[in-house]
Amino acid sequence: MQSRHIQTDGLAQHILEAGTGPLVLLIHGFPELGISWRSQVQALADSGFHAVAPDMRGYGGTDKPGDAADYSILHLVGDMVDLVRALGETSCVVVGHDWGAPVAWHCALTRPDVFRAVFGLSVPFQPRRPKGPPTAAMAAISKRLGLGDLYISRFQAGDAHDVFDADPAMALRKMFYAYDGATPDGRQSTGFIPEGQSFISTVPDDATLPPWMSPEHFGEYVEAFAAGGFKGPLDWYRNLDRNWSLTAHLQDARIRVPAAFVVGERDPVRHYSGQHEAGLKDQAPDLRMQVVVRGAGHWIQQERADEVNRLLLEFLKGTHADATSGGGLPNSRY
């Protein structure tokens, strides 16, 4: 396993990679880095694949454009297209977790010639809402529920990253704790922030590192975010309405390549995006695997590395089967 920088059309990307063979691209989410895929990179390399996990735009060792408009879904998908070409390949299987999942879904949706299969973790594909931009809908839902603002709405503010930048170690520790499967009921995040509080203040001050995260691994995150800040990562959220405007041409489009989705049973994200799980087969007709991992939380590829590795390798094996032979891979629950 090695890390290096690779120059694509408009971005210097830092990547973690290992192995030779068919390319598998692993896209992280918030607040993570390419290193969140270490277990998968190793397992894929051992199984005859070329695994590549980049630090995404705005994160870690990859370039961090200053303009929030440079973090749209078109930029993020374009970065992955450029990366495949810079690696000397023409196609790959794309895997995405958290924010990386919408990027992966849109890679498969818009460039099926490049991304021949897609494996999503934690966040299902969410089709474009025809009635209007998403942030207004989120605000209406929050008002109706009376639980405060959904954190995604709070992240729209231009200074929302300040509270994270003030103490990256505390912010990261609380975020990892609040969405982990080992965190007890009542202490996980609901995703909603009452008036007068911040996302960070809603998490208990005695939050500990998840059992799967060593102090050394946590230190890598703290070092990266202390150096690079949280503005770029939060700019992804600030493009939600812009993404809606930019993707009108994708209204009612379906993901046609082989697809899979894996989510933790206790993932708090399911409180506000889980409704899309039920309709995933309609949005991705060649959905070959849909798994709920019992007891797992949000950071599933690190919480349950062995299970995710097994499912990913099973899916990759299945994508080589004749899609017209029927069946594909079964839906499962663990």
Catalogue the active-site residues.
Answer: 98, 298
What the block records as the tokens of 5 is 């920088």
Number of residues that this document lists for the chain: 334
Q: Report CA-CA distances (Å) from 268 to 17, 39, 92, 218, 271.
A: 30, 23, 30, 21, 6
**What is the rounded CA–CA span in Å between residue 59 and residue 331?**
34
User: Rounded to an integer, what distance in angstroms lies between the CA atom of residue 149 and that of residue 157?
Assistant: 12
Residue 213 is encoded by which pair of tokens?
A: 């995260």
With a CB cutoff of 8 Å and minimum separation 6, the contacts of 249 are none
